[in-house]
Structure 1
Amino acid sequence: MPLQLASTFRDNLAEADRPLIGMWVCSGSPLVAEICAGSGLDWLLIDGEHGPLGLESIVAQLQAIAGYPITPLVRAPSGDTVIIKQYLDLGVQNLLVPMVNTGDEARAVVSAVRYPPHGVRGVGSALARGARWNRVDNYLTRADEFTSLFVQIETADAVANAAEIASVDGVDGAFVGPSDLAASMGLLGQQEHPDVVASVEQTIRTIAGLGKPVGVNAFDPSVAHRYLEAGAHFVLVGADVALLARGSEALTAKYIPSSDPAETTRASY
């Protein structure tokens, strides 16, 4: 009997009756990924851009998560065609590509995700976990059905081009990155600056107005709720490494009175 793959993040968003809440998994640990997978959250972002993740690590994390009712979205380090091919062949069904600044860049990423004649994805389904080694019936002709693509808007140029980017056929949604957006606006480390927040809200309204799902990163609960009220469809509200860092600092402050609490305060991502 042909194997069935999990529903995509695109499909989950379309069926959801509320925003989907998730967290980052940046540690590279399959054990940590599995712990987070059982949290009750809606989705996890496995971060191949800033985390210490190789191809083997991504496969192991996908396998660890597979037994839980949670959806993994995997961020590639770039929109490179070869990297995207490798990620999809590993079994990444939901791909997030960072630093997409123009409609042309978005179209190039879509091409990398799709097989010929509609794109340039290399064909190796018989060798790949993505097709379960050709155990998924008609995988080559149905690959788009099993794959969702999200692009990241995280510069001032991308905000200006948000409507064009989100309108590209094959882009299933967008994710706004306030940290890099703040840096591109000359406000490095100030992702909660009023000008940055206003740009994020503008982008959310623009993309949601086109009927495409849009998400954002927000560790501060008040900011997260503000973006949800602005119309965000999916939000990241924490990260494995940040939770461990802040939790261990709190533990230190609790049991070592001489520690300076001010030294354990860190800016959110």
Structure 2
Amino acid sequence: MPVPAVNPFKQKLLRGEPQFGLFCMSLTAQTAEALSSCGFDFLMFDAEHTPTSLPTLYTQALALAASTTQCLVRMPSLDPVLFKPVLDLAIDTVMVPNIRTAEEARAAVRAVRYPPHGIRGVGGSVRATGYGRHADYYAVAADRVCLLLQIESAEGLRNLDAICAVDGVDGLFIGPVDLATDMGHLAQATHPQVVEAALDGVRRIRAAGKAAGILAAEAQAAMYVDAGANVVCLGSDLGVLVRNADALAARWVRAEQAP
């Protein structure tokens, strides 16, 4: 039984279609399943800033399996050992944080590809191979796996053209909060200098023929889409929860407690 060679997220990426989603900071399959019916193109499970685990990611991937919402993971770091179990879970799209140089980009490509083009280890009875049923997985893995690199520093922006030129990189995603901090504007993603740098980065990425992604609040999203961004994280699941819960509480609970 052949394994599909198609990663829907990657196919849309290559066609330049806009895709919208959320970072997922929560750690339950139930939340992932609930969000899978919203209509988002993807959910990006964050393994960099949350205390997640591989069993948690596994249950979250299963929660999305019956939906059209694609499962993405932001890796904790560039450590190649960390990529193997995530990819073996059949999570075909991964994003690597804080890439600063073309050499780091090449290391990320090696981490997601089998020899002779990379160093990914071969797992047999894993979900990606249909638990050993799909012997042809190895031949199509390079086509299925989608690699996004996150640009979060002034150094990364300076080296953007060289990073874009690395074969095997499918898209670059600007992280405006860390970029702002690196530029001296602590956590100020909407600072004019940061916005200008991010917009310039998006345009340069698209001009280089790569997909461009960014984290943007709803108020800024259209501006980045107009600049060429075609992968947009509109916030996070916990951010949506907290904002709406705070607003609800402000309308009812806090109003009742006011003198």
> What band does the TM-score fall into relative to the shorter chain?
over 0.9
* Amino acid aligned to 2:228: G
1:216-227 aligned within 5 A:
216-219=214-217, 221-227=218-224
Match of 2:175 in 1: 177
Query: Is it true that 1:232 corresponds to 2:229 in the alignment?
Result: yes
User: Percentage identity across aligned positions?
Assistant: 39
Mapped partners of 1:74, 1:53: distance in 2: 11
Q: Displacement, 1:135? A: 2.1
Aligned to 1:99: 98
What is the alpha-carbon distance in structure 2 between the residues aligned to residue 3 and residue 205 of structure 1?
36
Specify the alignment match of 2:59 in structure 1: 60
Q: Does the CA-based 8 Å contact 1:101-1:161 persist in structure 2? A: yes
The one-letter code matched in structure 2 to 1:198 is: E
Tell me which residue corresponds to 2:242. 245
Q: Give the residue type in structure 2 aligned to 1:97.
A: V
**1:18-37 paired onto structure 2 within 5 Å:** 18-37=17-36
Q: Which of structures 1 and 2 has the larger relative contact order (alpha carbons within 8 angstroms, sep 6+)?
A: 2
Does the aligned pair in 2 maintain the 1:97–1:150 contact within 8 Å?
Answer: yes
After TM superposition, give the deviation of residue 15 of structure 1 in Å. Answer: 3.5
Structure 1 residue 258 displacement after superposition: 5.3
Greater alpha carbon shift after TM alignment, 126-135 vs 69-78: 126-135
Residue matched to 1:12: 12
Distance 2:155 2:146 in 1: 24
Offset of residue 9 of structure 1: 2.0
Corresponding letter in the other structure for 1:145: D
Gaps of 5+ in 2: none
CA contact (8 A) 1:59 1:91 kept: no
The aligned residue for residue 212 of structure 2 is 214
Q: What residue in structure 1 maps to residue 131 of structure 2?
A: 133
The 8 Å contact of residues 54 and 86 in structure 2, kept in 1 or not, is answered as yes
The match for 1:201 is 199
| Structure 1 residue 45 corresponds to structure 2 residue 44 | yes
Map of 1:190 onto structure 2: 188
Q: Amino acid of the residue matched to residue 10 of structure 2?
A: R
- Gaps (5+ residues) in structure 1? 261-269
**Match for 1:183: what amino acid?**
T
- Number of residue pairs aligned between Structure 1 and Structure 2: 257
> Alignment partner of 1:110: what SS?
helix
Cα deviation, 1:231-255, whole Å, max 9, x if unaligned, reads 1111111211011111111121111
Q: 1:121 to 1:259 in 2, by over 3 A?
A: farther
For the aligned residue pairs, the C-alpha RMSD in angstroms reads 1.5
Aligned to 1:266: none
AA of the residue aligned to 1:233: N
Give TM-score, length-normalised by structure 1.
0.91
Q: Is 1:121 the equivalent of 2:120?
A: yes
2 CA distance for matches of 1:116 and 1:42?
31
- Contact 2:5/2:140 (8 A) holds in 1: no
Structure 2: how far apart are the matches of 1:159 and 1:259? 49
TM-score where L is the length of structure 2:
0.95
3-state secondary structure, aligned to 1:229: helix
Q: Distance in 1 between matches of 2:5 and 2:63?
A: 15
